[in-house]
Each structure stands twice: as C-alpha cells, then as structure tokens.
Amino acid sequence: MDNLDRKVCPHCAERIQSAAKKCPFCMTQLVKPKWYKNPQNLYFLPMAIVFPYIFFTTSNANNRPTLLFANYAQKVNILSTEMRFENTLRYHTDGTKRPARTVTVLGTVRNDSDVTWSQPHYEAQFYDKAGKLIDVQTEGSMHVALAPHQTQAFRIQTTAHSPFANYASVKVIVRTAEDADKYLR
C-alpha cells in the first residue's frame, strides 16, 4: 500500500508521496501555479514588464527641467525681412478659380542661445504707411529646429486682406518654440 501512494520526483528521482506539492528532498515545486497552466495569461506578462518601464520613463521625463522659450526669446532674433506680393488664381471648393492676393514674407532668424529650439511659431505684423497695424499672420514650422548659434531662413505666406499698397512694412517675432532636447536632459 505504501508503494501505491508514492511517485518519483522528476528532478531528484527520490520517491515521494503522490499528493506532495513540493519535494522534501530537493525542494522543487511540483505543482505549477494556476496562471502558468492557462496560456492566455502569458499574454499579460509582456505588459507587466513594459508598463512599468513606460511609466518610469515618462514620469522621469516630466521631472527633467524643460527650458521655457520666454526666458530665451531675446536671444532669438529676426535679422532680415522682405515682403513680396503676388496676384494668383486659386481653386475653391466649388472647382472655380478666383483671384487671390498673396503676401509672402521671407527672412532670416538667428538663434544666439545655447538651446536648440524646435517648432518655432512666427508672427508677422503688417503695418501701413502711418504705422497702423492692418494685418497679422501667425505660422508654425512643425518640422524645423533652430540650432544654437546658427542663422536660418523662414517664410510666412498669407492672403492679403487689404490692397497691396497698404502694406508698407512688416515686423516678425518668434512667439514660441519648444525645447528640442527636453527628453534628453
């Protein structure tokens, strides 16, 4: 009767009781946990590893100092601007061509800071001969980075809302930009 109630441990080959969950000789766990028996539970294992990693890296990224463009704006200067005017025909949603007046501002900007600024947003302020503000256009450059101590060209294009003769001068300002290296700090 004693031999019928025994089995051999698969790890140490000792005879143990058949109901044993752990071998008393080699201390090997003989019964697999329930989660191990169900293969669907193995799908959650990668998530259990990846989720803490993502949480840790994003929480640390938020703790890293992000530089504010407002503190460096005086070091990002517009060096030159030039206005160009063009009468064009543009297609509209109904398929017809209609005349359009386009004002294009070409210029150069210099980043004299030690920071790389990405996604600069330019504001072009258009003035008449009396110095009165007549139009404003803001434009972001999503795939542009202003490298430290470098000069770079930019272009702002808008539809003229006044006759070309009213556009006497333009002032361009870099309103905002993102710290390009904020995730590397």
110-137 pLDDT, tens digit per residue, is 999 999 999 999 999 999 999 999 999 9
Q: How confident is the model at residue 11 (pLDDT cuts 50, 70, 90)?
A: confident
**For residue 3, which amino acid is it?**
N
For residue 113, give the DSSP letter: S
CATH code linked to domain 69-179: 2.60.40
pLDDT score, position 33 = 66
Edge-to-edge strand ranges of the sheet holding 76-91: 76-91, 97-111, 150-159
* First-last CA distance in the chain: 71
CATH 2.60.40 location in the chain: 69-179
pLDDT above 90 for 19: no
- The chain-wide mean pLDDT, for the chain, equals 85
Could you report the per-residue pLDDT of 31-46, keeping only the tens digit for each?
776 656 666 666 776 7
Question: Token pair for residue 118?
Answer: 């990405």
Tokens of 181: 């290296």
pLDDT of residue 60: 52
Least confident of 38-47, 106-115, 155-164: 38-47
User: Does residue 1 have a pLDDT over 70?
Assistant: no
pTM over 0.85: no
